[in-house]
Structure 1
């Protein structure tokens, strides 16, 4: 019945800052971008593998509650080939990355960083 994820939607507080982060730093290709005047909202569709990431802006969105963690989407997780290279790349762009941990079940390396609105993003090494 449910085949796969189609998209994940994120609401940002500063559209241009988040657009730069996702398209220039994370290098996600743009599928489509539009401004919806009736909602005073930007919508940016990005490609990540077989899934779309939708970035929205709205006037005065409430801040995301992270600590203590609230119910709802906890974080995004990106699979990467080489976690140390990805961490070095992010740090070169002045993005703080948590220390690498090991998944006790798979033995794979993983870590977290945050987007401009403090949405946690996980890196999970494929190999």
Structure 2
């Protein structure tokens, strides 16, 4: 099997409008297509990162909570590359989003930090 790339990441949110605002307005992702699936009473929003389709945002009525803490099994976090970490942190802070202390990756010497989306999904920003 030859895998070419990660096609997309699917995220189920508790409050669709709040998460939609977060991913579009706060993080600056580009909405590509939004559909309402009546049979599931669910929205699906396709989002692009720097012009490339990468994230599907879903609303599902009554979706159970998933424990989210750094060392739990399963998907650990979602990471985005940024050109300037300090600028990104300032923008998030201006939006009232709590951001962890900036750290230095001991293997690459690159700067990174973490914050959470509206459903407490850990998101990492990693400086280019």
Scaled by the length of structure 1, the TM-score of the pair is 0.95
Partner Cα separation in structure 2 for residue 69 and residue 60 of structure 1: 26
The more displaced of 67-76 and 110-119 is: 67-76
On the 8 A contact 2:101/2:113 being kept in 1, the answer is yes
Q: How many residues align?
A: 126
Which of these residues, 54, 70, 88, is aligned with residue 72 of structure 2?
Answer: 70
Match of 1:95, SS state, is coil
Partner Cα separation in structure 2 for residue 75 and residue 116 of structure 1: 14
Which of these residues, 87, 94, 98, is aligned with residue 96 of structure 2?
Answer: 94
Q: Quote how far apart the aligned CAs of 1:67 are.
A: 3.3
Computed over aligned residues only, the root mean square deviation of the Cα atoms, in angstroms, reads 1.1
Q: Which runs of 5+ in 1 are unaligned?
A: none
- Quote the residue 1:44 is aligned against: 45
Offset from partner CA, 1:82-103 (integer Å, 9 cap, x none): 0000000000000000000110
- Quote the residue 2:24 is aligned against: 23
On the 8 A contact 2:34/2:45 being kept in 1, the answer is yes
1:84 equivalent to 2:86? Answer yes
Q: Which runs of 5+ in 2 are unaligned?
A: none
On the 8 A contact 2:46/2:53 being kept in 1, the answer is no
